[in-house]
Amino acid sequence: MARHGGRGWYGRVVAAAVGVTAVAAATSVWTAQAGQSGGHQAAARPAAPKATPVAATIVHASDGGDRAVNITIDDGPDPLWTPQVLQVLRDNGVKATFCMVGTQAQAHPDMVKRVVAAGHRLCDHTVSHDTTMDKKSEAYQSQQILDAERQITKASGGVRPMYYRAPGGAFTPYSRHLAASHGMRPLGWNVDSKDFERPGTAAIIATVKSELHNGPTLLFHDAGGDRSQTVAALRTLLPWLKQQGYSFGFPVR
């Protein structure tokens, strides 16, 4: 999603993320200590298969070809708005890519599973949606990306994110290559619907129509506030895109 400042909702997410990371670290230490004491060693768990690395360049193209668009939905999942977005997509026979914030996925695993069950794809949108990630250390970037990958994968029941979208487009060469090495293609966008600003349903529709020539990947949101305008805009835009001869695909991997 585009960069925005002063978001109280994300401030709370950051606080939650810090707590999650601290608990995870403490658990790791306890587990290691427990394994070294008492003369009994826990049975080794089978290692999860490694993801196949993908290209580290930021993708915009659609796997559906020149007359296809990619619908991407950021910042969720949200228990109120994600089901409504899913219903509009279902009504129009459209599959989308959901770029999820790790703590949101952790809080709403049922929503993550519903997204996967409906045939949509998952995307890592970091733990706490820090739009200044490109100014932070590599250690911080790694924590944000890989912790979110684990949170989303666990919430989904084992389905890994296929893409990584930096909050606000705050990619770095390091973050792109790290994500790609974990099988997550860096994902950009061509059309920012500006729905996050809640400019009105008509304005969201007009923005998408006027910017569609920029490329196939469209950006919407299903969390971070009242998304009723987004839901209403999608109800109009998805049939309109079909009428214009567009099909719907996923971002190229």
Q: Which amino acid is at 217?
A: T
Contact 223, 76 (CB under 8 A): yes
Residue 110 annotated in active site: no
Give the global pTM. 0.82
Q: Compute how many other C-beta atoms are within 10 angstroms of the C-beta atom of residue 33.
A: 9
Successive 10-residue mean pLDDT values, the chain, 253 residues: 42 41 37 35 49 96 96 98 98 98 98 98 98 98 98 98 98 98 98 98 98 98 97 98 98 97
At 139 the pLDDT is 98
At 15 the pLDDT is 42
At 50 the pLDDT is 79
In angstroms, the Cα distances linking 129 to 3, 11, 134, 188, 214 are: 10, 9, 12, 15, 25
Q: Given 75, 130, 221, 222, which residue is catalytic?
A: 221
Residue 221 annotated in active site: yes
At 51 the pLDDT is 87
At 49 the pLDDT is 65
At 48 the pLDDT is 52
Contacts of 100 (CB under 8 A, 6+ apart): 75, 76, 77, 112, 122, 123, 124, 125, 148, 152, 161
Q: Given 63, 74, 91, 222, which residue is catalytic?
A: 74
Rounded Cα–Cα distance for residues 238 and 198 (Å)? 19
Rounded Cα–Cα distance for residues 134 and 128 (Å)? 14
CA 238 to chain centre: 20
Between strands 68-74 and 97-100, the pairing is parallel
